[in-house]
Structure 1
């Protein structure tokens, strides 16, 4: 059944939505944390930074794969229609926010992958300690790695802004508009009357 013919998201879409959201929060936090650890004069702290970096890379690559799966599900299953009471500006804002979030969920991990692949340090990425994730076939270059690092950071902070806008919009729908937008992703919530 297409999403246009139902009022909510599929179980797969809901599961991926919340899993990716939790991983994004964890990975952004880890990214902030590891910078301080690498700068520490304490060798144990720097080693912890390396461990956090490996976890950060593993989660980033997992977010990339899950986001591509989520995007495929969105195209194949569709999405529920937006509430009829939304203004054209609100509809545009919702669309831009969703497109922006998908772009960030895909481009941030990709830029991190390029950064690691181009780094002259040549450090491997061990996916959750299970196997070595291959580097992209890019030339080793401090400039390329640096540019990818800069893009990675800028897009990550843009992602935080979009994430907050997304959460704010969902809360507005639930508490002010009193519609079922948030309940679509949290089925245990009582749906609004609108």
Structure 2
């Protein structure tokens, strides 16, 4: 029985977690700044980070689909198990949808995404102000939904550790011993 995630899964999990915190904080910070060269630079950085996270999330999802996750504790009932699995797939779905919605929004607003200022990425839709506004609302809504889902994810992990006192959290901790 698999008792821990693989080192690759753990590394990608925590790298993506740190990246999500950074890109969310940057997005939240920059949205109300007055238009300036600095704001445009921050938007570029936000897009670079978003595309990078998209690549990492695809890699993490591919790894997850090809490597079994640790078994959930036998003490978890079927509804709780189903909720845990649904929560993980919700997180994956949101982490894929958010950078794609940002890329679509940039395309619709007429701003090409240029990854790291070097690699121009194709516009995914034609310029369309109404679609750009809808995609902006979608992007923001998805981000706040992800924030709530992440809070639930962290809360569940802490509940397992401190209340259930099982090994679920240690499955993903980089420096935890064998569970």
Q: TM-score range by the shorter chain?
A: over 0.9
Corresponding position of 1:108: 98
1:105 CA displacement: 0.4
Aligned to 1:134: 122
Aligned to 1:11: 7
What is the match of residue 86 of structure 1? 76
- Does 2:138 correspond to 1:151? yes
Query: Any gaps of 5 or more consecutive residues in structure 2?
Result: none
The CA deviation at 1:132 is 2.4
**1:32 alignment partner in structure 2:** 28
CA RMSD between the two structures: 1.6
Contact 2:51 2:99 in 1 (8 A): yes
Give the unaligned 5+ runs of structure 1: none
Q: Do the aligned residues in 1 keep the contact of 2:12 with 2:60 (CA within 8 Å)?
A: yes
Distance (Å, rounded) in 1 between the aligned partners of 2:11 and 2:177: 19
Given candidates 107, 128, 135, the residue that maps to 1:117 is: 107
Question: Aligned to 1:59, which of 46, 49, 53?
Answer: 49
TM-score, with length taken from structure 2: 0.93
Structure with more relative contact order (C-alpha pairs < 8 Å, separation 6 or more): 2
Specify the alignment match of 2:63 in structure 1: 73
Instruction: State the number of aligned residues.
Output: 179
Task: For residues 39-78 of structure 1, give each alpha carbon's deviation from its aligned partner in whole angstroms, at most 9, with x where no partner exists.
Answer: x2xx6xx222111111111111111111111111111112
